Amino acid sequence: MTLSRILGPLTILATCVFLLAIPSISICAPLDAQIEAIISQGASARAHWGVYAVRGRNREVIANVNGGRLFVPASNRKLVSTALALETMGADHVLTTLVHVAQPPAGGVVTGDLVVRAVGDPSWAADNGLLDGRPGRSILTDIARQVSRAGVTRVTGDLVIDTSRFVEPDPIPPAWDWENMQMSFASLPSVFGINHNLGAVRVAPGRPDEPVLVSPLGSVPPFTVINRSVTGRAGSQPTLELRRSIDGRELLVRGSLSADAAEGIRLIPLGEPTLFTARELKAVLAENEVTIDGTVAFSDRSIPVGHVLASVNSVPLPNILSVTNKDSENHLAESLYLLAGAQVFGTASYRASADAEARMWRRLGVDSGDYASSDGSGLSRKNYVTPRAIVALLNGFEGSDVYVESLARTGYRGTLRYRLSGDNLRGRIRGKTGTLDGVTALSGYIDHGTERVVTFSILVNNFNGNTSTIRAKVDEIVELLAK
């Protein structure tokens, strides 16, 4: 809480003068009094607010309310991950997955293993801008058809996934909440995966008093279903719950679904996405008349590339960045964060990514005390950052069209489509939202015309009211900054 909040609006000017003698506390900026007035009423007054904004090329500070305090950023964390990916990999970077064998096939037979050099490509999904809407399984079909066209009909060894690019094939992001990991927005990153590492199950009512009908989709069932559910009478209140086990191998179904409920598809995060994708590839190879005599295996040591039978490139990195930021896609953000660490240090791990991130912050002139790193998407509550650090990041990447255009834009596609989209602000703001329980955030750029861009970060923590109420105050502050 700032001193002005304690002493009241009438003493704001005096407080600012007083703070000039206290080096550890920021002096007031021109818009601070108006911002304090906006956030000092109702539920907003009980929340922790951080606002920092600068204007123009000289970076004039126009707002600084707790701008140097640490906050949980929620999905504003994606601003960091996408910037780090762009800085380490470059806009033209392509991820190439190779399928190879030690020796060329003879008479249609590969003697030995069929090896997939997995690189953690997260773009094998049907999101807008990724694969033009095709499902991730279509990439496995592309691979299988290339292998078949190379004349292969049989592999005497195993299907081996070279996972050496990642320290762990399916890393668990630090400090993720187990309850979140049951949800479709919290699937694990992996060295080899499709469809954001989500398994799909069809759910439909059975006859009254009989189990709900639950059937996994795909040629390889992602879960063993333990069904303890029941179909209720028509019109009854649904209580159906689907929870996977920690290892992801079982899916417990309990509760009820009314007999007149519509059939639907539920998406469940996979516990072992690399294993699932490998099994799916083996099945797709069989569909394309390529038989694997052995089983699915993994190698954590790099296997030298021999005779290449198939290769698949990722979609362009700018497309991945755009979906990540505009749609706030967690799986892509985690993947990009890990891939950035691998680009710098050779192998993907959260430690490597944190070290690569620290290098970026140093280049931007941000003190190590202004941030703390945990995951890449912002689901972890152990991420911390100051609003002034976010502004420094945005200023540092303001010259990158790829980065700026990856952000949501008011009135257009993405998380800002219906926010701040009145005639005066439509299209003028590019930014990144963020939401967790008790957390909301918005940071980005406001177009004031030539050489008058305002860069801002608003982070709000520790509120227990309606998020929409706090969000409305955030938007009111942005409107003030945009004048």
Report pLDDT digits (tens) over 340-355.
Answer: 999 999 999 999 999 9
Tell me, what's the pLDDT at 147? 98
Question: What per-residue confidence (pLDDT) applies to 27?
Answer: 62
Q: What is the pLDDT of residue 422?
A: 81
335 falls in which pLDDT band (50, 70, 90)? very high
pLDDT beyond 50 at 18: no
**Residue 96 reports pLDDT greater than 60:** yes
Give the domain 95-315 fold: D-tyrosyl-trna(Tyr) Deacylase; Chain: A; (3.50.80)
The residues, ordered by sequence, that sit 6+ positions from 478 with a Cβ below 8 Å of its Cβ are 420, 425, 429, 442, 446, 456, 458
| CATH superfamily placement of domain 24-89+319-481 | DD-peptidase/beta-lactamase superfamily (3.40.710.10)
- Given a cut of 60, is residue 8 above it in pLDDT? no
Rg value, the chain, Cα = 25
Residue 4 predicted with pLDDT over 70: no
Which of the given ranges, 23-37, 173-187, 376-390, has the highest pLDDT on average? 376-390
What percentage of the chain carries pLDDT values higher than 90? Answer: 86
Domain boundaries, the chain: 24-89+319-481, 95-315
Confidence of residue 451 (pLDDT cuts 50, 70, 90): low
Using the predicted structure, report yes or no on whether residue 95 has a pLDDT greater than 70. yes
Whether 25 has a pLDDT exceeding 70, the answer reads no
Q: Could you read off the pLDDT of 459-469 as tens digits, one per residue?
A: 999 999 789 99
Closest by CA to 481, choosing from 433, 428, 422, is: 428
Short-list 325, 304, 274, CA closest to 442: 325
* One fold for 24-89+319-481 and 95-315: no
Specify the pTM: 0.92
User: What average pLDDT does this structure show over 195-217?
Assistant: 95
The overall average pLDDT reported for the chain is 92
The stretch 255-270 carries a mean pLDDT of: 96
| pLDDT tens-place string over residues 149-172 | 999 999 999 999 999 999 999 999
Q: State both tokens at 126.
A: 């049907």
* pLDDT band per the 50, 70, 90 thresholds, residue 376: very high
- Name the residue among 275, 56, 320 with its Cα closest to residue 168: 275
Mean pLDDT over 437-460 rounds to 91
pLDDT, tens digit, for every residue of 316-334? 999 999 999 999 999 999 9
Taking residues 219-240, report their average pLDDT: 94
* Whether the predicted pLDDT of 6 surpasses 60: no
pLDDT digits (tens, 9 = 90+) for 391-432: 999 999 999 999 999 999 999 999 999 999 888 899 999 999
**Predicted confidence (pLDDT) at residue 12 exceeds the cutoff of 70:** no
Q: Which amino acid is at 26?
A: S
Q: What is the pLDDT of residue 450?
A: 63
